[in-house]
Amino acid sequence: FLDLTGIDYCDGAINLARNVADRDGFSSIKFL
């Protein structure tokens, strides 16, 4: 995927997604 947008307002879900992305080597994903 080159451009994927999603919305989640749950802090826990955002932190989980960030940690999984970092763990799997996707550090270029921008979490706003």
Signed CA dihedral, 14, 17, 23, 26: sign only: negative
pLDDT score of 20? 96
Q: For residue 10, tell me if it sits in a domain.
A: yes
Inside any domain, residue 32: no
Domain coverage including residue 5: 1-25
Asked if residue 14 lies in contact with residue 8, where contact means CB atoms within 8 angstroms, the answer is: yes
Distance between CA 12 and CA 3 in Å, rounded? 23
**25: alpha, beta or left? (left if phi > 0; alpha if psi -120 to 50):** left
4 inside domain: yes
pLDDT 10s digits, 7-16:
888 999 999 9
pLDDT at 4: 82
Whether pTM > 0.85 for this model: the answer is: no
Split into its structural domains, the chain has a count of: 1
How much of the chain exceeds pLDDT 90, in percent? 47
Mean predicted confidence (pLDDT) in 1-8: 84
